[in-house]
Structure 1
């Protein structure tokens, strides 16, 4: 910051400009940038998957990164990221909550077997804690393919779009225009009143560029594939700004105005910033000349996407464009222990980061290995590097994917870029807020009465999470809003709740949990091709084959399966009752009321306002409770006495009772009248029937699953086919410049070419990604 102020003062003094309130504009701009990045700028999110695409029934493993707003460092603290699969109607059809700590989190999406194939979108975002409604929330989006019978390919019929460098075409001056939407290496022509004046050719990635001098009164079109597309009409006044060179050899900004331009007497500033730091600022005057060249001191800037803007002294933008100041990218060295492998053979891969400019890098990386034949028709999603430096901050006619653009081409592409956060005028108007910390790990909801009237402030809502066996009380705030903490180990659950206000129970309330909201951006459209999808065809064969071997697998893994069953039993039996009555030793009862009256002590059935009800004797008070007890029927929480009393008594196997005052304290108002724990002979019958107004489903945090791999040691499993398409997923390895990191896995039964993808981020915030290949033969 001091370096910038000294540099700015030197420029102003050398130009003979005295400091006034207007000449202090760049300093004010720096102050506002600092405010924005401290209080309002969103974090950056990136989600890295273990395969390019998936089929119905698959499990998609992924790693989520959360970076600071500048993108240079992983965040510290804890966050909950919403990860959602969205269909063409922009409906969230599959939801995940991923816990992220210190910038990294692991989880998975499990796709239903009946999920229709198609081109979906995958969005990831942070909600909760984003109180500043003017700021863009932390957000990630990419195209996401679920396979069907036919493969999907990118739609090529994208419209041509034209972007004047600096922002606008100006009459009588040399203008440069970037063109998007062309096919690789295609040629196009610029015509004036129907006469061709300029030709240009697209790059391998479909971008074109041309320069021309528009004249007053003429109509300009671009001729491409037999179509004529109009260019915007040039303005009569303004500033043309173009940039040449590169950050390694030096960047130069060329500025032009017309002889009669109103800009000739204006006090202007040329400012360049990279995220929160202005690294170049200089006063500009056209009083003597209509053209000028300014050498940009890009060496004073840190790496990243720089924003070069020409301002008036009042902060109005006359011209703007983005430039990429490329970081020193570490190379990733991937070495295999053999040139090719046999099926079911051990593979050892050594991974190492190269050093750059005397820097010995370390980093955190993910490694995934998949069969290339099944995924070669599907390009990987946006690379970590391109998302952090471009897509997360900029609006472009098409998101930059995993292509490694040259320095010149990326700067030509950036002619079309616009900042997607807020305008400079909004930036100049922002005020300090609350510094951004970890987003609150909570769900937000509202409590109302049946007519929709908000609950009073400080109304107590007591929740009991069924599977997690957790009781928690929260108080409402303004307009009945409440915040329910989302603890790290909370999975999806059903919660029963009770409501009191100043120790008085409130009946007939309505509670809703806010669903996380998102706004979709544009993604590349994919269309069905005439070719069969190789991965989908493979999965259709794989599933029945593996089912046919399920009996053998079950016998071989009997021990581990038994452990799972035991754990499930323990999970259902988590409630300690004061005593339990097993009904198998009694004669058959005529009704539930008869069971309670004759077989269960400390409990009685009675009529209340003409209806059957239950009362539990509360130990420690020497009296029966004044209200109905809480019920837990086959592990489901409910307070529906009517449902219990109407049950077939022969279905009930046991009734447990919690009636000790000291035990009931932990259950708050939910347990103040005692608790009955009922088990039946047909628990599946009651699950859906017991969903009622006093309970709700809570979307918890999805705990990461372990990726299943195989180690082919010996001949014990030769009878079982190994049909894995993805051999390995290791999302948390450390990589170094000073030594190799070994990664080991076994090949499967499939032969062909396999891809090893290594992606991650260095300790100084530079994303990296590489692909290497090996072959498996018989």
Structure 2
């Protein structure tokens, strides 16, 4: 072996040994625990993400907010398996609910609408969307969206030059500055109106300038700094208005590590650099977590005075925020860095119309095509909103479904102009997004709690259907364990369901599926079948979301000066129609098929809610009616009760002085007047009549004409009198909110058309435009009367979690003009 080869081996051997020592097998204990805990959190706890799409960003009193909600698994963005019930609350500036919706989510999607009162005050309002399951993870995970209600006196607020106090903060990449190590330092300057454009310089404690800087986007930017031992640094910051402030940089640590992540030139890898000011070699672990899963881990060994660099493929991670962590071999966290992985895998959505310009009240045929990134058709559904460009102004960088699911829902606080970071045509968006992630806090989970296996406390059950819940307690408010609660519809006692109470006396009737409200009867017994001294307490769902801790600037203020008056004028002609929903329910009809409904043979004895009747007539006091109708038997028996014939064997009763018919009860259950004709008067043991408002008030508005209560002879003994409002009550259960269909008039000549001006600001809304197996969908609608341009926005997400959106415009040249 010659000397040249020997020298080469002597040179290369230490390098190879160093490389071999740099990458070693990761420590199995805490890494396996971290992975297992993340898997548990992701699959068993399965947090959700909720989002709302609206037909437009602001409204006038009397208009309708048309909306589509999404309930998705936070990790996969697939339809949530936890929740099929979505709550949407419209809150005013005092955090009082104006309207509260309960929507049925099918395959993670729900449609709804809010009819705004015509006398609603102008101002700022907030839409909040959440599920009961999401409450377990804190209200900061709720979806919040600010909207503005315009009024006659609405004026634009001139925010130009209104700065207020600036909050200026520094964020060293990875977390800390370390003496002698070069770091990227990000900064953010904001006030009450959002990001503030700034520039300035950094000086050391001797007054020497170190570096100049300027923000790149919305008050965010960065610079390089190598802090020297014993030195302190301060930044002089200037706004474009000339205001100057001084802000101290964080003190550098005498020892420690820095973590840096850069994008490589190929744009398919990240270069990760780890440097340490240390005296002894140390083994460290780098992990990469995204969507609540561990996608990358590597154990490295850092030598004193060396920077360890390696690359990580972006393809290892799904699209979204990636969290790189640097930790010691025992799991102690040292540094953290957020970065965004963009695999360019969202849906490609195109919208085309059969013409570019239409006449007034002309027919439009529009086609929507959805494809994945490989050009394959995607069958899913989209929310489609078509609005007037002159009267409805969208923020070009506003929140979108994609921006929320992939970005803002994983970050703490308010993100200004989130759409900017996904504008493909903007070359500076990637750098701006990097600065955002360097300066915005992570909200998904806590590192140390995840390693320790500390999970959220589950207080609220997931809802796959509607439930009616309450508690059975004694008259001393002690829970009744092992008792039974029984439920049936107020006017149908032939079918009922039962459930057992738990240790806290709580009971739940699950499996309901109905719209509107229904009156149900709930009664309770203890484990020995006793009912006296028991009380049924129903749960009233009166949860009110709290106001977010962060302030959301109202971006609409600068757009309303030229649109407010015309918008309000057009809103007076907004058209909508209501689908009538007749609540002729049966118990079987409002329960899912898996719920067992029991029959009348198991029914308990008749009951009464009232304490006192004005008149009580026993069986032996009733005259025999020739018609067999029990109402005829009451003729002449009660002062103030009028009975008259309405047909063959048909009679009607009225209490003198009452405008409405009385409420008829049969063994405590409301029945119709015609039903009584089929009841044998010999089966009636007594009749109780409530004429006074004081006695009949317990039955509510339906008893405004008084009450005639009949009790049948179901047992040989007279039924025992029971105290009302204790072990048996009538409860008004709330179902899903009624959902109306957007009314789009047909000007086809065959349908009668209104002569009123059609000035709709929302021309068309459809929350469920479904593409077929070829990825295509076609919709038709008619234009209105204004000469204008309409903007079309479509947003949706595939069943496998790929969001997508499309936009287009078309014009209308109407002969009627815009007056």
Q: What's the TM-score once normalised by structure 2's chain length?
A: 0.73
Counterpart of 2:639?
590
Q: 2:314 aligns with which of 298, 314, 321?
A: 298
Counterpart of 2:224?
211
1:170 aligns with 2:168: no
1:415 aligns with 2:415: no
**Counterparts of 2:812 and 2:352 in 1: how far apart (Å)?**
16
SS at match of 1:707: coil
**Counterparts of 2:498 and 2:694 in 1: how far apart (Å)?**
21
The aligned runs of 1:175-186 (5 Å cut-off) are 175-181=183-189, 186=197
Moved more, 718-727 or 617-626: 617-626
8 Å contact 1:187–1:199 — kept in the other structure?
Answer: no
1:315 CA displacement: 1.7
**Counterparts of 1:277 and 1:760 in 2: how far apart (Å)?**
25
1:244 aligns with 2:262: yes
What CA deviation, in whole Å up to 9, does each residue of 1:651-689 have, x standing for no partner? 859958574859xxxxxxxx9899xxxxxxxxxxxxxxx
Q: 1:545 to 1:335 in 2, by over 3 A?
A: closer
8 Å contact 2:269–2:312 — kept in the other structure?
Answer: yes
1:255 aligns with 2:274: yes
Counterpart of 1:347?
364
Q: 2:284 aligns with which of 260, 264, 268?
A: 268
Q: 2:736 aligns with which of 668, 678, 701?
A: 701
1:721 CA displacement: 2.2
Counterpart of 2:764?
728
1:152 CA displacement: 6.3
1:760 CA displacement: 0.4
8 Å contact 1:371–1:726 — kept in the other structure?
Answer: yes
1:53 CA displacement: 1.9
1:201 aligns with 2:214: yes
8 Å contact 2:82–2:133 — kept in the other structure?
Answer: no
Q: 1:17 to 1:774 in 2, by over 3 A?
A: closer
8 Å contact 1:629–1:673 — kept in the other structure?
Answer: no
Q: 1:374 aligns with which of 384, 391, 412?
A: 391
What CA deviation, in whole Å up to 9, does each residue of 1:294-338 have, x standing for no partner? 211333333332111101122221111111111323332222222
8 Å contact 1:242–1:254 — kept in the other structure?
Answer: yes
Counterpart of 2:592?
none
For structure 1, list consecutive stretches of 5 or more residues without a partner in the other structure. Answer: 1-10, 548-552, 554-559, 602-613, 663-670, 675-689
Q: What's the TM-score once normalised by structure 1's chain length?
A: 0.77
**Counterparts of 2:124 and 2:633 in 1: how far apart (Å)?**
56
**Counterparts of 1:750 and 1:660 in 2: how far apart (Å)?**
70
1:590 CA displacement: 2.7
**Counterparts of 1:736 and 1:441 in 2: how far apart (Å)?**
31
Counterpart of 2:93?
88
8 Å contact 1:630–1:639 — kept in the other structure?
Answer: no
1:136 CA displacement: 7.9
8 Å contact 1:84–1:93 — kept in the other structure?
Answer: yes
1:773 CA displacement: 1.9
Counterpart of 2:167?
159
1:757 CA displacement: 0.5
What CA deviation, in whole Å up to 9, does each residue of 1:439-467 have, x standing for no partner? 4642544444566x233113334445559
Q: 1:504 aligns with which of 512, 515, 530?
A: 530
1:105 aligns with 2:141: no
8 Å contact 1:444–1:514 — kept in the other structure?
Answer: no
What CA deviation, in whole Å up to 9, does each residue of 1:44-65 have, x standing for no partner? 2112112222222222121111
**Counterparts of 2:558 and 2:269 in 1: how far apart (Å)?**
49
SS at match of 1:239: strand
8 Å contact 2:255–2:276 — kept in the other structure?
Answer: yes
1:189 aligns with 2:200: yes
**Counterparts of 1:515 and 1:541 in 2: how far apart (Å)?**
36
Moved more, 64-73 or 473-482: 473-482
Q: 1:124 to 1:117 in 2, by over 3 A?
A: same
What CA deviation, in whole Å up to 9, does each residue of 1:605-642 have, x standing for no partner? xxxxxxxxx9979999988769x9899x9xxxx99855
Counterpart of 1:150?
154
Moved more, 134-143 or 289-298: 134-143
1:29 CA displacement: 2.3
For structure 2, list consecutive stretches of 5 or more residues without a partner in the other structure. Answer: 1-16, 424-428, 590-626, 645-649, 653-664, 670-678, 815-819
**Counterparts of 1:181 and 1:433 in 2: how far apart (Å)?**
34
1:413 CA displacement: 1.6
Counterpart of 2:329?
313
1:147 CA displacement: 2.4
1:772 aligns with 2:772: no
Counterpart of 2:623?
none
Q: 2:554 aligns with which of 526, 550, 563?
A: 526
What CA deviation, in whole Å up to 9, does each residue of 1:492-546 have, x standing for no partner? 3454543333433345734442433545433513389588566653464356668
Moved more, 197-206 or 142-151: 197-206
SS at match of 2:254: coil
Which has the larger Rg? 2
SS at match of 2:791: strand
**Counterparts of 2:82 and 2:148 in 1: how far apart (Å)?**
32
Q: 1:485 to 1:526 in 2, by over 3 A?
A: same
1:706 CA displacement: 0.9
Q: 1:191 to 1:362 in 2, by over 3 A?
A: same
8 Å contact 2:684–2:713 — kept in the other structure?
Answer: no
1:34 CA displacement: 1.2
Q: 1:314 to 1:657 in 2, by over 3 A?
A: same
8 Å contact 1:128–1:439 — kept in the other structure?
Answer: no
Counterpart of 1:223?
237
8 Å contact 1:305–1:325 — kept in the other structure?
Answer: yes
8 Å contact 1:165–1:241 — kept in the other structure?
Answer: yes
Q: 1:429 aligns with which of 448, 452, 457?
A: 452
For the aligned residue pairs, the C-alpha RMSD in angstroms reads 4.9
Moved more, 329-338 or 43-52: 329-338
1:459 aligns with 2:483: yes
1:748 CA displacement: 0.9
**Counterparts of 2:585 and 2:736 in 1: how far apart (Å)?**
21
8 Å contact 1:337–1:348 — kept in the other structure?
Answer: yes
SS at match of 2:748: coil
The aligned runs of 1:473-512 (5 Å cut-off) are 473-485=498-510, 487-501=512-526, 502-506=528-532, 509=535, 510-512=537-539
Moved more, 189-198 or 384-393: 189-198
SS at match of 1:30: helix
SS at match of 1:66: strand
**Counterparts of 1:468 and 1:58 in 2: how far apart (Å)?**
38
Q: 1:371 to 1:151 in 2, by over 3 A?
A: farther
1:35 aligns with 2:49: no
**Counterparts of 1:352 and 1:363 in 2: how far apart (Å)?**
10
Counterpart of 1:748?
784
**Counterparts of 1:724 and 1:709 in 2: how far apart (Å)?**
10
1:359 CA displacement: 4.6
